[in-house]
Amino acid sequence: MKETGIVRKVDRMGRVVLPKELRWKYKLECGDLIEVFEDDEGVYLKKYRTKSNFVSQVGELYRTVENIEKELRDARGMSDDPAK
């Protein structure tokens, strides 16, 4: 992790102001969501990014294809078995 040398005070409401330079660098704008992570050494912030609609649609399409392939395998297995 890279040190920035930036120190900020936490106010009574638990808020911290992110420096303008970091907001510009990470394209943080008013209303953006920030994800909070923690480990034994501290708290980490990351701009929250939801999956794009395209990525979600590709994932759904992939799952649909997998299900169709499974159904085809099952159907072939049932029709290929002379005992059934």
pLDDT (tens digit per residue) in 30-73: 899 999 999 998 999 998 877 666 776 777 888 889 889 988 98
The secondary element (H helix, E strand) that includes residue 38 is strand 34-39
Please determine, for residue 84, whether its predicted confidence score (pLDDT) is greater than 70: no
Kindly state the tokens that stand for 25: 């660098």
Please tell me the distance from the alpha carbon of residue 67 to that of residue 73, in angstroms, as a whole number: 10
Q: 4-39 pLDDT, tens per residue?
A: 899 999 999 999 999 999 999 998 998 999 999 999
pTM, 2 dp = 0.52
Mean pLDDT, the chain, whole residue set: 85
Please determine, for residue 79, whether its predicted confidence score (pLDDT) is greater than 70: no
